[in-house]
A and B are shown apart, each in its own frame.
Chain A
Amino acid sequence: MAALFATKKAFTAPPTVRTLASGVPSAPLINLAARDLHGAEHHGHGAAGPRSDTPAKFSGGLSNTPNGVVSKRYANAPTTGVFQQRYMHTSVPARDAPKVPNFGAYEAKDPSTNRALSYFMIGSLGVLSASAAKSTVTEFLATMSASADVLALAKVEVELASIPEGKNVIIKWRGKPVFIRHRTQDEISEAKSTDWKGLRDPESDESRTKKPEWLVMLGVCTHLGCVPIGEAGDYGGWFCPCHGSHYDISGRIRKGPAPLNLEVPQYDFTEGDSKLIVG
């Protein structure tokens, strides 16, 4: 039905002249040698011939049939598919949708505030994420640190510059206190001048110290294992409050029940004698 409409109504003659994209007129199929059909009226110039502007064969033409001469014209290809009629109209389309409400009251007064808030929230999330990641990494690394059984055999490093002359420092080494005393010259000479051969546990001060100004020994009373008190006792050294053992300024037992001098641990001076390593 629709196709019939189309063939009936109109046809388009093939154009002979068109405009190229460049703007140049193009007439590709014009036969310039063609003559006018009415040669005689045009003073005889030019013989009659096929005109280039005659419709091409495929668009139709005359044909001889047993029923007589039939003229066929194929003007348009029949339309296929759905055919919809479009009307031109000037009427205003009916508004069947309800009016969109005004959302202006909900809009931000100033978009820059929203932008800053968005970036602030993003940044805050970044801060929290970085902190969480840092904690995770730190805790994981902490699992690789030395465990208590390793630490129990560890060496202890002491910064000697932090100990002034005439002062005691107690550090913890393998669970036991270690006394470090920065001895004054008087104390050194006193310790050296003592007649050590007659003591209960005879030891010279030289054999007990590597450097005379630094006295390093375990702070465990050799009697029953109390921790003696520094700068006390009858001999200006250490005094054990448990049972009254007196040690002198070299840590040797002088009076009381203890049988031996305070023990001297393994130690060494390093880094230009600025550090002491016990162990």
Chain B
Amino acid sequence: MVSYVKGPAYKTVKSVAGLNIPLLKSYVPNLALWGGAVAGGIATFTEGIPLFQNTFYSKIPVFGEHWVYNPDPEDIPI
């Protein structure tokens, strides 16, 4: 005697506005890379700003000295 099931059991994934958790999870790696792109863009555009130079870029290990500007005060003409 074969026992039949009435049909496939369907489950619904909870979703909000067409977004559900597995779908969002599948976006994560790509979004992380886009975050890198945004960080690169911000870094590019803030490279010339002294606040960012002193706070971040002068602390880059090898070529951070590029942003260090520390002349003898006697050498600055006013």
Which A residues contact B (CB, under 8 angstroms)? 130-131, 133-135, 137-138, 141-142, 148, 151-152, 170-172, 174-175, 177
Interface of A is mostly: helix
A138 touches B44 (CB 8 A): no
Contact of B47 among A134, A142, A151, A175 (CB under 8 A): A134
- Report Cα–Cα, A170/B75, bound state, in Å: 11
B45 touches A148 (CB 8 A): no
Contact of B74 among A131, A142, A172 (CB under 8 A): A172
- Report Cα–Cα, A151/B77, bound state, in Å: 12
- Report Cα–Cα, A171/B75, bound state, in Å: 10
Q: Kindly identify, within residues 13 to 65 of chain B, every residue whose CB is under 8 Å from any CB belonging to chain A.
A: 41, 44-45, 47-49
Contact of B48 among A134, A172, A174 (CB under 8 A): A134
B74 touches A130 (CB 8 A): no
User: Residues of B contacting A134 with CB < 8 Å?
Assistant: 44-45, 47-48
Which B residues contact A (CB, under 8 angstroms)? 41, 44-45, 47-49, 73-74, 76, 78
User: Residues of A contacting B49 with CB < 8 Å?
Assistant: 138, 141
23 inter-chain pairs at a CB distance below 8 angstroms, sorted by A residue, are A130-B41, A131-B44, A134-B45, A134-B48, A135-B48, A137-B48, A138-B47, A138-B48, A138-B49, A141-B48, A141-B49, A142-B48, A148-B78, A151-B78, A152-B78, A170-B73, A170-B74, A171-B73, A172-B74, A172-B76, A174-B78, A175-B78, A177-B74
A64: shortest Cβ distance to chain B, in Å? 74
- Report Cα–Cα, A148/B47, bound state, in Å: 23
